[in-house]
Structure 1
Amino acid sequence: MKKSEALMTTPTEQNVKTTNVKDVLAYLADKFPACFSLTGEAKPLKIGIFQDLAERLQTDESVSKTQLRQALRVYTSSWRYLEATKEGIARVDLDGVDGDLIDASQAEHASKTLEQSKAKAAEKRKARIAEAKAKQVNTVADKPAYKKNQNKKPIPASKEAKVNQKPARAEPVAAKPVTLQPVVMSAVVAGAKVLIKLGQNPMPATVLEVNKDDVTVQLGSGMVIKTRQDSLYLA
């Protein structure tokens, strides 16, 4: 197999061992395609699916139970999954076999959770924009204004020479632009230290959660925001 072909293959038991949640979900979608999916409309999962996974993968050392719990939590809290959790839709097991139907209370809970999640995302986006604008305002340097006195009498040569002896005002040196290097997707895991560019200045942040292409990070100030993986850079 060529190197380029190897990079395009889906996760296998050999390379999932130390990967992040995104790779574990890709592994589950590859191993149980009738149950898990990464794109399109999601299928509501059978209640107790974790026990089924633990039993099916009990001899699989490439993924741990902790990774499975975290992956299921991320999968079932995604907007795509919550939108698919509607009344009357059948839940599926690992083999895609229909089971219990979603009742009204379960559908209502999923709808409220989706609404709250989108509201939080909107608030974080608004706070991020406000913070970026505030930083841009603070970086604008105030330039001193000089008044020209056109009606003053000519200064005698001796006094003019003394005036010219004053040291010249040093011009501020422009800061060199910082070159940022994008973070490799496989390095974006919970707890990873990264830089996120808000406004003109990159800020250090810690990755809290990875959900598909969306990443939740915490700034040094304690503020938690959601951004895209392509907005993160090496710390």
Structure 2
Amino acid sequence: MTEVQNEVQTTETQTTENVKLTNNKDIITYLAEKFPLCFSLEGEAKPLKIGLFQDLAEALKDDECVSKTQLRHALRQYTSNWRYLHGCRLGAERVDLQGNPAGILEQEHADHAAQQLAEAKAKFAEKRAAEKAAKATQKKRPARKANTHKAEGNKPARKPKTQPELTALDFSSLVKGANVKVKAGENAQKAVVLDVLKESARVQLENGLVINVTADRLFA
């Protein structure tokens, strides 16, 4: 290996080592690499020595990868993990950074760990139940009803036409050229008298049609 390659490798190693870790998961992974007999990433975790944080802070005081504050946060997360709480049973042996025996777990600490584990599992179960209920509610929602107007082509209901009031006509006084109304069924149309006959009249409707109508169908 050349001198240049040695310098490059040294620079890369220093750069890697100087990366500041801020994520708890990354810090725990880092601790498991540096102290494998104390920290673990899989399986049941070993109970840690009381006051281990001080030993850890002292051991990593010159380590630029992790700050004391971040180290405290990561250690708190590690000791609240289900794996760790499962291992905190009465009589279990605590370990120091090198994995050496550092005291036996007492009843008080075992009970506390069991309580934390039960609370954590209860919260998890409650969260899962809420998610399941939300999904069930979403599935039961009825389909939206089709808009009545859209189903009918957005056609508004037709309003009945209001017919003008018809006034009785005195047929005896009817003269040629008079304006009258002619009733045909339910409708009435305007017309002009063209000729007056004995019991009927010859009229021209607005549309130009000329017809004979009886007196009872003529109105003023």
Tell me the TM-score range normalised by the shorter chain.
Answer: 0.5 to 0.7
Secondary structure in structure 2 of the residue aligned to 1:96:
coil
CA distance in 1, matches of 2:153, 2:59: 87
1:61 is paired with a residue of what secondary structure? coil
- Of all paired residues, the percent bearing the same amino acid is 53
Aligned to 1:91: 94
Name which of 49, 53, 64 aligns with 1:61: 64
Q: 1:145 offset after TM fit, Å?
A: 7.8
| 2:131 paired with 1:128 | yes
1:100 match: secondary structure: strand
Residues 21-55 of structure 1: CA deviation (Å, up to 9, x unaligned):
11110000001101000001211000111111110
Deviations 1:113-145 (A, max 9, x none): 111110111011111222233344458433458
Partner of residue 120 from structure 2, selected from 117, 123, 148? 117
- Whether the aligned pair in 1 keeps the contact of 2:91 and 2:106 (CA below 8 Å) is yes
Look up the SS of the partner of 2:17 in the other structure: coil
Aligned mates of 1:73, 1:100 — CA distance in 2: 20
Partner residue, 1:37: 40
**Cα gap change, 1:62/1:145 in structure 2, threshold over 3 Å: closer, same or farther?**
same
What's 2:13 paired with?
none
Question: Structure 1, unaligned stretches of length 5 or more?
Answer: 1-11, 147-162, 168-235
Which of 43, 50, 53 is matched with 2:53 structurally?
A: 50
Q: Give me the whole-angstrom Cα distance separating, in 1, the residues matched to 2:95 and 2:53.
A: 13
Structure with a larger share of its residues in helix: 2
Q: Which has the larger radius of gyration?
A: 2
Q: Deviations over 1:60-89 (max 9, x none)?
A: 111011111111111101111000001111
- Given the superposition, is the C-alpha separation of residues 165 and 105 from structure 1 closer, same or farther in structure 2, using an over 3 Å criterion? closer
Question: Residues of 1 paired with 2:98 and 2:118: CA distance?
Answer: 30
* CA distance in structure 2 between the aligned counterparts of 1:28 and 1:100, rounded to whole angstroms: 21
Which SS does the other structure have where 1:29 is aligned? helix
Q: 1:132 to 1:47 in 2, by over 3 A?
A: same
In structure 2, distance between residues paired with 1:41 and 1:119 = 20
Matched residue type, 2:106 = D
1:149-202 per-residue CA deviation (whole Å, 9 max, x = no partner) reads xxxxxxxxxxxxxx98949xxxxxxxxxxxxxxxxxxxxxxxxxxxxxxxxxxx
Q: 1:164 to 1:93 in 2, by over 3 A?
A: closer
Partner SS, residue 131 of structure 1: helix
* TM-score, with length taken from structure 2: 0.57
Q: For the aligned residues, what is the CA RMSD?
A: 2.8
SS in 2 for 1:99: strand
TM-score norm. by structure 1 comes to 0.53
Q: Which deviations, in whole Å up to 9, do the C-alpha atoms of 1:71-115 show, x marking residues without a partner? A: 111110111100000111111010101011001121111111111
Amino acid at match of 1:68: L
- Equivalent position amino acid for 1:13 in 2: E
